[in-house]
A and B are shown apart, each in its own frame.
Chain A
Amino acid sequence: MKIVVLLKPVPDTYGQRVLDLETGLADRAASETVIDEIGERALEAALRHAEQAGDVEVVVLSMAPADSQSALRKGLAMGAASAVHVADERLAGADYVRTAEVLAAALRKTGFDLVITGDASTDGTGGVMAAMLAELLDAPGITRLESLEITADAVRGTRATDGGSMVVQAALPAVVSVTEALPDPRFPALRGIMNAKKKPVEQLTLDDLPLDEVGAALDETASPRSIMLSVAERPPRSAGTIITDEGDAGERIAAFLAERRLA
């Protein structure tokens, strides 16, 4: 069985994230790039399955600029067997549909029984990619799994949805996304980091991908679907009054709320 885990390099949420005020794109020089944590959880789920079931190959896949291979390296260090990196200058500023087309074509090329992604990235926060991939690949899709159980021919789990949870199952090949309710990812061990250097990273450009199989054009740079009109930075919030409790803080907060008509 082949499980492909999608990893997205994103600006580290622990740092100051900066948008380029000219292009509206992330200023990648301004903050450190890391794998989105939710992708690490997706990988953790795949690795745990591989450890207890025999004959499971875990591959990590990213569409990312040529110089951001570190995300994939970390995935390999955590235990993935190989990595696929789609990098192409014609993908700068790619929108959701373009990204989905490219990932779907890469998944077609790599082959998969199960694709696992995070439910939403910390930079885009769209939460639509897994559903789009299920459509483009004509595979059953289950978004927002809080638990998952993988067998030789199916995936099953609890899906957190509006107002409750569903138990859902799908025949493989399938695409699923997972939430933060899944276990924390492991830290790569030193041996894993050393081994990662020997593991294969396949480099692909748009020319290597069967884009026609997912109904997509080779180069869409000339006709972007959407454009950014303006970007403005909000002034940072400043601190107000700080008091130390002298036995009456509860009363004082109540008075503050009443004064502002918030209570």
Chain B
Amino acid sequence: MNPILVLLPAAPAGGLIAGTAEAIGAAASIGTPIAVVTGPADALPELAEQAASFGAVRVHTAVVEGPELGAPAADAFEAAARLVQPELVLVPATVEGREAAGRLAARLRAPIAADIVGVTRDEQGVVVRHSVYGGAYDVESAATYGPLIATMRLGSIDDRAEAATPDVQPLEVTASGRRAATIERFEPVTQVSTRPDLRTAKRIVSGGRGLGSKEQFALIEQLADTLGAAVGASRAAVDAGYVDPSAQVGQTGTSVSPDLYLAVGISGAIQHRAGMQTAKTIVAIDRDASAPIFEIADLGVVGDLFTIVPQLTAALEARKG
């Protein structure tokens, strides 16, 4: 039945980590998705039910609460891997997901496929796909002996599984007693945003240094809201404090492949392009006609963003009627 184990550490702010539905969807496309969920005792039943609603045919649960960082969840994931003996372990590549993948791989001495964007099966077994050097190369790899532990780039897989009837099985976990850091407190990001998640958004409006200030960056937010888009940014905009670091797109930020990427006041440095050049349609606004962003834009507009963006927002609003 080709069991595929999906690791689901609870998100620190509550709920399942982002990317859960697509990880389970990807697992279902090549085998039987089995999830292992860790989290506080009182939240587990609901988390397990959610995992089943995304298509996990069996959900193993383990209570992980208290201030220790990383190691206790790893104990649970290790127990699940030994029990399920999966062919592939899939983990959404969020911060907690990568932590779980790294720790499990070290314990099992199992191969890691990092930041995969696709998974298929051939006669030999599971094959994973990577997008390397900012989308310049497509690489396929496979494990020679498993299980392969793959972290999955969010927003890269469209497969979704049908909801399954919850079959929840608490896991027996022996504490490893590994030394761990202590969490003193957690602070959720304050502004509760109704905007789509940058990592999985179909449309993104990104602003760069050209916006000039945090106040003026609001132009990007307004345009994004009109389009129902997520807000992105260049590193220069993040460094200047216009926007939260989680909005950074690029080499060292998030890699995105939306249907629309609208870059505003972003020159298009190679490290920025590395995170967005696989977008289906790219529109760029910049006053410098020689900005490298224009080399990859489907529509490039040379001009002042401070006049163009308000006009664009108004025109889109008008079209909405």
Contact = CB atoms under 8 A, between A and B. Distances in A.
Interface residues of B, number: 97
B118 interface: no
B270 A163 contact: no
Interface string B130-151: 0011011111111111001001
Contacts of B148: 226
Contacts of B112: 95-97, 126, 128
Given A234-B136, A256-B283, A249 B105 contact: no
Interface string B283-299: 10100010000111111
Residue picked from A123, A127, A136, most chain B C-beta under 10 Å: A127
A166 B12 contact: yes
A14 B107 CA distance: 36
B110 A97 contact: yes
Interface string B99-112: 10111011101111
Nearest to B107: A135
Contact of A262 (B140, B184, B203, B313): B203
A250 B310 contact: yes
Contacts, number: 293
Interface stretch (A105-113, A188-196, A200-208, A236-244): A236-244
Interface stretch (A1-9, A84-92, A137-145): A137-145
A134 B74 CA distance: 12
Contact of A239 (B102, B294, B311): B294
B188 interface: yes
Interface in A155-183: 160-171, 174, 179-181
A237 B142 CA distance: 28
B142 A129 contact: no
Interface of A: 13-14, 17, 19, 24, 37-38, 95-97, 100-101, 120, 122-136, 138-144, 146, 160-171, 174, 179-181, 215-216, 223-234, 236-245, 248-258, 260, 262-263
Interface of B: 11-13, 17-18, 69-71, 74, 93-96, 98-99, 101-103, 105-107, 109-115, 127, 132-133, 135-145, 148, 151, 178-189, 203, 227, 235, 245-246, 251-252, 255, 259-260, 270-271, 274, 277, 281-283, 285, 289, 294-304, 307-316, 319
Given A168-B182, A263-B316, 15 more contacts: A126-B98, A131-B101, A132-B106, A141-B180, A168-B181, A170-B181, A216-B109, A229-B141, A239-B296, A241-B299, A244-B301, A254-B316, A257-B316, A262-B203, A262-B281
